[in-house]
Amino acid sequence: MWKLIVAFLLFAGLSMFVIMQGGDNLNMAGEQHGGGDTPHENAAPSQPVSSSGAVTEQAPAAPAQPDSK
């Protein structure tokens, strides 16, 4: 049991050393995909919008025709 405690303390000390050495360059935000900050305002709308700015309704899809054999 004492070996687990010693291993934890060594790992915690090493982790703190790495974090302190990182300084301002350490990024804790997680994985970054893409190039830079892109605001979400430029995303395409989820529903079509007419030229007047009103959301237009889409016609429902046609029902599937059953296969008759």
DSSP annotation of 68: -
**Ramachandran sector of residue 25 (left: φ over 0; alpha: ψ -120 to 50; beta: rest):** alpha
pLDDT of residue 46 exceeding 60, the answer is yes
- pLDDT of 5 strictly over 70: yes
Integer Cα distance of 26 and 19 in angstroms: 7
Summarize pLDDT for 31-42 with one digit per residue, the tens. Answer: 878 766 655 565
| The overall pTM is greater than 0.75 | no
Contact 48, 56 (CB under 8 A): yes
